[in-house]
Structure 1
Amino acid sequence: MNKSVLVIIALATTALLSSHPAQAYDGPWCGVYSIAPGGAVEKCDYRDFESCRMDVVAGNRGFCRQNGYYQGNAAAYAPRHRKARRHREG
């Protein structure tokens, strides 16, 4: 009994630690849709606000919001290091 519980815990731990995050956060914009009273679904694969808005306006009840998990091209937003200027003595 004890061995089976330990095996199950070991398998669950391995599954949790080795899993990759879901691909739910692919784009910078998310559409949040109402599916039932008190229920909602989030779809985060919109590349711009307009495509999200068009999907919401097309009959899906909901709203658009920015994706807080989207990292995008992080290198494009990294601070650039400037070369130090040499001052002339004169």
Structure 2
Amino acid sequence: MLEKEIERKFKKALEAKGCLVYKFASPNCRGVPDRIVITDTGKVLFVELKTEKGVLSKLQKIQIEKLRAFGQKVFVLYGLQEVEEFVNNIDDWR
């Protein structure tokens, strides 16, 4: 499954659970996670989506560590199965 398809399913499933899901694009800061998820209780989660065989770039690893150093929740999900598990467990992050 293509990353684009995984992103579409991710967004649709989380919106159905009452979350806001934004595509994170930062032209002057490459390597940031793909998506920002805001739960209905105001929690902000950063999510990088990959195919099952996807690999984080060095820059993505650096950006993820920066966000975590600032106390942010950052997830890297590989493939549709991990997306489904994340969506099913979103209540843990509300």
For normalisation by structure 1, the TM-score amounts to 0.23
Bigger fraction of residues in helix: 2
**What is the TM-score when the length of structure 2 is the normalising length?**
0.23
Higher relative CO (Cα under 8 Å, sequence separation at least 6) belongs to 2
**CA radius of gyration, larger in:** 1
